[in-house]
A and B are shown apart, each in its own frame.
Chain A
Amino acid sequence: MPAVPAPAIRERLAALAKQFYSPLRAVVALIVLFLAITCGWIWHQRALASAHNILIETIPPAREALDRHHLAEAAGYFERAAAAVDTLGRSDPEAQWIRQMQRETRTALNLAPHSLFEMIEEAIDMEENPGPLEWSEAFRFTYEGAWVIIDTSAVRPPEAGASTPDRVELPFTIRGQPVSLLVDLRPFRTVLIDAAPQRMIFAAQLADCHRTADPQPGWEIVLRGETAFLWSDARNLAAVGFPEDEGLRQTLTTQSRLLGLE
């Protein structure tokens, strides 16, 4: 018996449509579609209105909280405000500022529990007095992912194509051992205008801290370059204890401008 060729999919769909189609059904489907679109539109409008309201409600008290150096309170307001500007799909300077404030306040609340000096001291202690816990585990437990705000001088990183991240030499020794801070400064290329050292204030998460033999025996602190961001607000810095001075304000103003917040 000869094989019957299978009908093409298009023909089958056409047959199926013909089977279900009727003028009445078509009208009902259009009405349902219209209603769904209308509901979605109403929901979206409400979400936008709500986001507007949130911005109106949160920004003034967030500013007040910042003025009072109440970081946790300010962070709460900025979280809501950042979600609102995302809903609104805004990318204007004010929206950028809100997102930046949200990042800064959240960072200020999640700083590393100890200073980098103490961290290296702890690492050397654990190395000299081995216990059940190795330093790498202790680091993961205590420091990895914690934020550090750094105010330092840096130079423009090498041109694109350089594979090694920029190394910021921390000019200090702990118990005679030099310490290097390794951070990828390429995201800040726009900030660092020329090869001359330039003051910059940024925050980044700690990624690693390990002993190194190159270029000389010492310690290497690695920051997560992808999390690094420039700081912009003096009040947030003051809230974590940074001393305010004219140079710092100028640096922050410059960085704010570069970030498109003004």
Chain B
Amino acid sequence: MMNHPLSTACSSSAALFAMTRRLRLLRDSGRRWQRGLLAVLVLIVTATSVEAAPRVLSVEEFNRTPKSGLVGKELAVQGRLALVGKNRLKLKRCEMNFEAPAGLPPLIRRSPDVEVSGRVVNTEGRFQFIVSHIRATPTDLQRYEEKRRAIRVETAEAWYELAAWAQGRGEFYDDAALLERSAEARRRGFQIERRRLTREDPATPFALARRVEELGLGTALQQELLHEGYVQKFRTLNDASPAEYRQLAEEIAAALPGCREPLEPLPEELKSTYDTDPFGTYTSADAEKRRTLHRLLWIAVMQKAIESDAAEDGSNGFEIAARLDEQLPELHPLAETYRDRALKLRAEKVANLPLPEVLALRQQYADRDQVQQGDAVVESWLALRLRQLPADDTEGLLDLAEKYRTLLKRPERAARLLFDAYQRHPDSPIIAARIEELGYRRKGNRWLTQEEFDAVPEGRLEQALREGRVENGMTADQVLKSLGKPGSVTRFASSSQISEIWSYQRAGGLSLTVYLVRRLPQTETLVVGIGQLDER
């Protein structure tokens, strides 16, 4: 009858323990020769027991090993119980049956992982494993934890080794939990490896990304590293050539998905967060958001590539704007600023442009819904022409007035120019006719709009003049016409103005005083007040 497997397993260690105890007793008694003899015996027993320990194979190893080579040898197989009968058992993923003619202990039935010791025998060409004894072993997950705890000095290699073990077991048994542990161990190992490398080197993230691929740590981590690498690379490209920026953009587009998918609209808030903290934003983003971030990075690089071609004075603003609109439609507002600058530059050079180009420039403004700016260009051009006009060039003045009227639809400005021309040539019927064409009517020496003319059939001052009165705003000449020469005039000079008091004696001791002021450099002295004094 077979010994109990557990007692069998412990027999050699019990003998070893008994001899060790005996040795201690002899040492205490002082019999040296006996002590030496016993030591020799301990060594012999130990050597015998080590030699007797069977070779332990995993089921995977056992499956791979040719059975003919194992026949007759004492060995142990460690694995997971699949089926347990009265006298036999089956391990998971193992073809061979394990026969226990003496029967199996009941405890075994509750142990998922066991180590079965015995011999492979060949019975009529069929291999069988005859179990000599069996014991329960920790599960793979428990063993994983033991191995994990056993890692005293955290090195990447130690974690990778653990990960490889767990992965082998996990894959063999299709054990998701163990595979998860394997991935965890690899991540730990990778983190240690990542910490070891300097982050300042732009090549580091790329090297780590390759490692992630080798370790199979997933595309998310790989993209995170690639993103980090490209951001660092972009940052180091200070004042690089447009070609270098374009090359980088190509690399990014090839490595990170979503770069060529325009964003509609540009997520301003996300962009702001990303600009502030690109790595943190990326790490916390989900896969969908990461695609957006890839695009934002690509936009930044391409923007740099395009803007590097921009002339400092903004002269090629239209070309830059067109490229921005074509390749980075999200940056349309930026493209518009380039167009604005280019237009402004052209507008600044308006003095040297011929009229057709000025009108073309205005049309460009109009096309951009900037009608006022376009008109300002034309007005600047006209103003410059006006400034260059010789004082006696009435023909030129008429021509400019016509341009103000037709190009700018500014009849009042045209009228002002014509008034100037009329002052120079009051007898010119052509100038008068042109002013009248603009809807002005002449009243005395003044030109009035039709409305003014109609509203004031007889001007306030004219009426006062006719009635022999004085009104504020009258000129000194009009006062003279209205009231005649004053009895006395007093003048005061103060800074930048001359004040006058004209005094008229009236019947009954009353005196009428008219106050006039001429503010320099004006030439006209105007009435600013009228008073009545009783001089009695």
Contact = CB atoms under 8 A, between A and B. Distances in A.
The answer to whether A and B come from one shared complex is yes
Interface of A: 108, 111-117, 146, 148-153, 170-174, 176, 178, 197, 237, 240-243
B498 interface: yes
* Nearest 7 CB-CB pairings of A with B: A149-B493, A151-B491, A173-B531, A115-B499, A152-B490, A112-B494, A111-B495
Contacts of A115: 492, 494, 497, 499, 517
Given A171-B501, A171-B511, A242 B493 contact: yes
A171 B492 contact: no
B494 A116 contact: yes
5 contacts: A112-B495, A153-B490, A173-B531, A176-B531, A242-B491
B488 A153 contact: yes
Nearest to B531: A173
A149 B500 CA distance: 12
B488 A150 contact: no
B431 to A, nearest CB: 31
B518 interface: yes
B503 interface: yes
A220 to B, nearest CB: 15
Interface of B: 488-499, 501, 503, 511, 513, 515, 517-518, 520, 525, 528-529, 531-533, 535
A110 to B, nearest CB: 9
A240 B519 CA distance: 11
B513 A148 contact: no
Contacts of A111: 493-495
Contact of A148 (B493, B518, B532): B493
Contacts, number: 81
A173 B518 CA distance: 19
Contacts of B490: 150-153, 170-171
The CB with the most chain A CB atoms within 10 A, among B495, B499, B531, B533, is that of: B495
Contact of B515 (A117, A150, A153, A240): A117
Given A178-B533, A197-B488, A172 B494 contact: no
A150 B503 contact: no
B492 A172 contact: no
Given A117-B517, A152-B491, 14 more contacts: A108-B493, A114-B495, A115-B499, A116-B492, A116-B499, A171-B488, A171-B501, A171-B503, A171-B535, A172-B533, A178-B533, A197-B488, A241-B496, A242-B491
Contacts of A242: 491, 493, 498
The CB with the most chain A CB atoms within 10 A, among B489, B497, B503, B515, is that of: B497
Nearest to B518: A241
A160 B452 CA distance: 62
A16 to B, nearest CB: 65
A116 B531 CA distance: 15
Nearest to A177: B531
Contacts of B503: 171
Contacts of A153: 488, 490
B493 A172 contact: no
The CB with the most chain A CB atoms within 10 A, among B490, B501, B503, B531, is that of: B490
A172 B499 CA distance: 12
Contacts of B501: 170-172
Contact of B491 (A112, A150, A178): A150
B513 A172 contact: yes
Contacts of A171: 488, 490, 501, 503, 511, 513, 533, 535
Contacts of B515: 117, 172
A170 B501 CA distance: 8
A150 B494 contact: no
Given A115-B492, A117-B517, A241 B498 contact: yes
Nearest to B517: A115
A2 to B, nearest CB: 83
Given A171-B511, A172-B501, A240 B493 contact: yes
Nearest to A113: B495
A105 B489 CA distance: 24
Contacts of A108: 493
Nearest to B496: A241
A256 B63 CA distance: 140
A200 to B, nearest CB: 11
B535 to A, nearest CB: 8
B531 A148 contact: no
B492 A149 contact: yes
A68 B495 CA distance: 18
A220 B518 CA distance: 24
A115 B528 CA distance: 12
Contacts of A150: 490-493
Given A148-B492, A153-B488, A241-B497, A117 B528 contact: yes
Nearest to B516: A117
A168 B497 CA distance: 21
Given A171-B503, A172-B501, A241 B493 contact: yes
B497 to A, nearest CB: 6
A166 B315 CA distance: 77
A117 B511 CA distance: 18
A173 B510 CA distance: 13
Nearest to B532: A173
Contacts of B520: 241
B513 A173 contact: yes
B487 to A, nearest CB: 9
Contacts of A149: 492-493
A36 to B, nearest CB: 50
A116 B493 CA distance: 9
A168 B458 CA distance: 40
A47 to B, nearest CB: 37
B106 to A, nearest CB: 110
Contacts of B498: 240-243
Contacts of B528: 117
Given A111-B495, A148-B492, A151-B490, A117 B529 contact: yes
Contacts of A174: 529
A172 B497 CA distance: 18
The CB with the most chain B CB atoms within 10 A, among A114, A170, A171, A242, is that of: A171
Contacts of B494: 111-116, 146, 148
A114 B531 CA distance: 20
The CB with the most chain B CB atoms within 10 A, among A114, A117, A149, A170, is that of: A117
Nearest to A168: B490
Nearest to A116: B492
A176 B529 CA distance: 11
Nearest to A149: B493
Nearest to B504: A171
A242 B529 CA distance: 20
A151 B531 CA distance: 20
A172 B530 CA distance: 8
A68 to B, nearest CB: 15
Contacts of A152: 488, 490-491
B85 to A, nearest CB: 114
Given A115-B499, A171-B511, A237 B493 contact: yes
A69 to B, nearest CB: 11
A170 B532 CA distance: 12
A118 B528 CA distance: 11
Nearest to B490: A152
Nearest to A110: B495
